[in-house]
Structure 1
Amino acid sequence: MFHDLLTPSRYPADSMGPAVAEAPSPRPTPQQAGPSLTVPEVLLQELSLWGVERIYGVAGDAVLGFLDAVSKQAQVRFIPVKHEFHAGIMASAEAKLTGKVGVCFATMGPGFMNLLNGLADAHLDRTPVVAITGQAPVKQIGGDENQVIDQQVAIQPIARYSSLIVHPDAAVDRMYKALHLARTHGVVTHLSVPSDLFEQSQAQPLRPPVPWIHGQVAFSRDLLEPVLGVMRSCRRPMIVAGEGAWSARPDLPRLAQQWGGGLVTTLGGKGIVDEGFPFHVGGLGEGGSPEVPWLLQESDLILLIGTTYWPEGFVPRQPRVVQVDAAPENLGQRVQVEYGIVADAGAVVALLADALSDHRPDQEWIDRVQAAHRQWKETVERESEFDGNPLPPQRVMGALSAHIPPDAIITVDTGDHTVWFNRNFRSRGQTLLYSGDWRTMGFGLPAALAAKLSQPHRPVVAVVGDGGLAMGLGELTTAVQEGTPITVVLMNNDSLQMEKSKMIMRGYGQAGVDLTNPDFVKVAEASGWRAERVRDATQLESALVESLADPKPTLLDIPVQGVVPPLTGQKPLGSS
């Protein structure tokens, strides 16, 4: 499957992946490529046919021929970054945001290996990304030369399809297959190209994408009757909505109200429903509402919509669950389910809400849910007014809630600030990008750059910690190089606070979690940014407003308190 040289892959034709965006509108098919087109020229033309506008990568000896072709065309823009890890993250972030295929490339050896971390983010979050990597000349592959590694073996846990191209006339078919599988299955695919092939001509015709005509899967009332019977019989329902539930946004409140169910959102589902909705009881997991684990424990049926998130310690051990997901492989992935429904969440939620229009929910449970909502709302509002020097992280999130506009894209890095964002940020419909299952530090800044390049008309804010930002300081100059006016909100506590908090809660000795940081303001200014150290709440609010209007990228370095988040040491429900 992975060692695909010149033979067709045995990729199962009936395998299914998550829903992906529609292909670009069909373009005129170009004339058959002739001998005058080199391998890199035809690869770039094929990418352009599929609507690819950018490639993220780092130069290296094994891809110089590819870069030569890049420099001689304008259809696909090359975004040179400082580290291959960030090239992978940027391709992943662009694909998450737009639904199109993201593309990145790297040279052989260390460049290829650096790329894998970013590709793993795309892999675990089921995001369509194509990676192109240089390889040694054909005669050296399998030998002991410098930087030679079997790339197909190394990438096997991450890429659904990986091919080593050993003849120039195979280039078009391999690129088509990589793009097609990435787009239709929401997966990572990979092509290795020996450096000497970048200098050779080929004679195969280009292959444009097949235009998609999307049909709708029709669910009849009869098909859903078994599930509706279970839903009508329960008295204490709960709904957990995640990233895959966004298409159900118009009907989720109606379903919750008519069914009488409390509504919980994961980090990926934050903003699906206005958090002022009286059935919304908060987030799930670390930093979520302390009421949510107990509501889930008391529930007699949980409806999972568009999520596989099931964090141990915050969920009941033997619940009754009905799951709705567009990808059949997600059903029952982390919890046993009574019924699984494979469908777009929007269609199913609308049908369920219609069918339950005459349902009489349990008023006592509604009172319990709405009391939890009020308590959580009061807690978050109170915490958003906390003050001090350094600022409490809750106060920072309160200011972000008030001043980041609803049309903004927010990229959230992995760290202590992620917990506070989940707990205290009150979404108003902003688009959220984050490293979901991979949870890599260093995601926030490169993801924000890719978001701004992909959708330059929208405000973009990266919320990062000092540990994550320190991993990618080189990309500050990439922002200036590419003219991307983003805002970076740096939650600076001079530590790896998430790990430090867990050490404190577990009674461990602390080692390796206190950081020696540079002056981030000076580093940002030296890189061409506007930068400001923010020490109080009033300054924070004005700095946020100014940064969003500034034509230059802006860094707000905010010293924050190292606070142990609530629920960090939560025991599994039912444990003593």
Structure 2
Amino acid sequence: MHINGNVADLILAQLAEWGVERIYGVLGDAIFPLLDAVTRQDRIKFIAVTREVHAAFMAAYEARLTGRLAVCAAGAGPGAVSLLNGLADAFMDGSPVLAITGQVELKKIGAGAKQYFDQQALFNIFAAQTNIAVKPGSVLSMLVAATRTAKLNNSAAHISVPKDVFAEAASIETVPVSFVEINTTPFVSGSLDNLLKVVQGAQRPLIIAGRTAKTVKDYVVKLVDQLGAGLIVAREANGKIAGRHELNLGGIGKAYLPPVLHEADCIIIIGAASYEREFIPQDTKVIQINDRFENIYQNTVESISGDTGLLLENLLQRLEGHSFNRDWLEEIKGLVQSRRQELAAESVNNTRPISPLKLMTVLNDIIPGEAIIALDIGEFTHWFNLGFQGGQQEILLSGRWRSIGCGLPAAIGAKFARPEEPVIAIAGDGGFITSMSELLTCVRYSLDICVIIVKNHVYSIEKNKMLAEGLIPFGHELTVPDFVQYAKSCGASGYRIEDPADIQNTMRTALNLGKPALVEVICAEN
């Protein structure tokens, strides 16, 4: 497609040609020409949000959910700096995101102009590639390189465009999508033979289903059955992996560590499980199967990377006739049954304030199987990990960067990407206050998102960590508003739950409203 316009027109046309449907961002004078160009076309929408950091989170989680390139934009100076926290999430957790920032005019670069700083020096920390466009003729090749880098590395890439370069004339053919499509081959690194020997020699195996495992869940379940292995579901795979399987121990973490974790003689990690690996005993043999060599952990005794589905299929074929330890199988089954009985007992716990574990167990029966659940960062995630067994839900959370306040922006990115699916954000009160302004974005764009707030007036994780380290907790107490009134002032619906008996009905009402809703749940501190 031939473009006659300016550089901003070219950027939008090219991104649209590659399948980009929206850009998340905040208006800034350095990107005035880009916003002006948005009004001259209808293929890409500009999603105006309240803060640049949230725009980057939205792009990061849209990309993580879809696997496609997502884009965010900001002005120069403080706007560009504000993007960085959200972009770091994409960089650390492997989401293909392109960040476009405005820059001061070319003649002002390095001349002490307001809002000027060396963007490449800063973005180089959290972008696989960063460049600045100084001539219109270089923009297209720079855009291709940045996009290919983001997609090839499942990472963040960044380009700076000075305000006057945005506005310069451009007459050029766009580049077809084939130039930026990354067709990975089933390249294998590692030895399946060596890995097979370790697996066959294991008498007490456990399997941790990580992020990649979501895409090959049927193979994962077959491997669990073939090995008689206990299944641990990583946070990012929760909901997608055999929630009701008889060998599914669920998630692990500070709220729950099954004794078999220390009894296992081999732990097989499928995909990435950055949180769960912290709890693996150091003397246990660990093997890993992953789609990318760079995501293989250093402490593995054997590992293999490549097309995970093909690798698991091959492994299963070679394990045919494998006999497993029946005593280990029965021990796993007993633990699973015991845990389910404990959760069933918790589901009828009617103490007040509400137990956060009670809340999570009740959500099992309320949240639709096709829903997308975006989790913020906070102590509630431990209880979610313990109590939510799920069906086929998609769980979005920050695996390595773990920035507080990411939950609601992640839900917004998910809702734009999959508007037909139910989307729920769960956050603690401490996390929600850092991104609560984006409830206005939900209202502005009529996004049917339900926000569940676990309210206990405290940063519980930090308090408990300080206590564990023998320190006197300080700075952990929260002053938070009436979230119900806040929601209503934004134009959303607001509900408060104080009685455990009200959880079911109130949650169902909020989830079925067809408009933005917020549910404040008054919970016990621990």
| TM-score normalised by length of structure 1 | 0.88
Q: Does the 8 A contact of 2:244 with 2:389 survive in 1?
A: no
2:351 maps to 1:385: no
SS of the residue corresponding to residue 327 of structure 2 reads: helix
> Is 465-474 or 74-83 further displaced after alignment?
465-474
SS of the residue corresponding to residue 545 of structure 1 reads: helix
Q: Does the 8 A contact of 1:249 with 1:346 survive in 2?
A: no
Equivalent residues in 2 for 1:144-543 (5 A)? 144-210=112-178, 217=186, 224-287=192-255, 289-291=256-258, 294-309=259-274, 314-333=279-298, 336-543=299-506
User: Which one of the candidate residues 15, 34, 55 is aligned to 1:66?
Assistant: 34
2:18 maps to 1:53: no
1:411-435 CA deviation, whole Å, 9 max, x = no partner? 0000011111111111111001111
Query: 1:218–1:99: structure 2 CA closer, same or farther, 3 Å change rule?
Result: closer
SS of the residue corresponding to residue 5 of structure 2 reads: coil
SS of the residue corresponding to residue 140 of structure 2 reads: helix
- Aligned partners of 1:213 and 1:80: how far apart in 2? 30
- Aligned partners of 1:139 and 1:396: how far apart in 2? 58
Q: Does the 8 A contact of 1:533 with 1:556 survive in 2?
A: yes
Query: 1:385–1:346: structure 2 CA closer, same or farther, 3 Å change rule?
Result: farther
Per the TM alignment, residue 374 of structure 1 is displaced from its structure 2 partner at its CA by 1.7
- Aligned partners of 2:515 and 2:239: how far apart in 1? 28
- Aligned partners of 2:90 and 2:124: how far apart in 1? 14
2:507 maps to 1:544: yes
Q: Does the 8 A contact of 1:120 with 1:438 survive in 2?
A: yes
Gaps of 5+ in 2: none
SS of the residue corresponding to residue 550 of structure 1 reads: coil
> Is 209-218 or 127-136 further displaced after alignment?
209-218
SS of the residue corresponding to residue 474 of structure 1 reads: helix
SS of the residue corresponding to residue 240 of structure 1 reads: strand
| TM-score normalised by length of structure 2 | 0.96
Per the TM alignment, residue 226 of structure 1 is displaced from its structure 2 partner at its CA by 2.8
1:358-384 CA deviation, whole Å, 9 max, x = no partner? 111111211222222222222222223
Amino acid across the alignment from 2:98? V
Q: Does the 8 A contact of 1:386 with 1:394 survive in 2?
A: no
Per the TM alignment, residue 295 of structure 1 is displaced from its structure 2 partner at its CA by 1.9
- Aligned partners of 1:150 and 1:215: how far apart in 2? 34
SS of the residue corresponding to residue 227 of structure 1 reads: helix
Q: Does the 8 A contact of 1:127 with 1:188 survive in 2?
A: yes
2:55 maps to 1:90: no
Per the TM alignment, residue 223 of structure 1 is displaced from its structure 2 partner at its CA by 6.1
Q: Does the 8 A contact of 1:135 with 1:192 survive in 2?
A: yes
- Aligned partners of 1:130 and 1:273: how far apart in 2? 30
Per the TM alignment, residue 154 of structure 1 is displaced from its structure 2 partner at its CA by 0.5
Amino acid across the alignment from 2:486? V
User: Percentage identity across aligned positions?
Assistant: 34
2:96 maps to 1:128: yes
Q: Does the 8 A contact of 2:212 with 2:270 survive in 1?
A: yes
Amino acid across the alignment from 1:76? I
SS of the residue corresponding to residue 543 of structure 1 reads: helix
Gaps of 5+ in 1: 1-29, 564-576
Query: 1:348–1:380: structure 2 CA closer, same or farther, 3 Å change rule?
Result: farther
Amino acid across the alignment from 2:164? D
2:75 counterpart residue number: 107
- Aligned partners of 1:446 and 1:215: how far apart in 2? 30
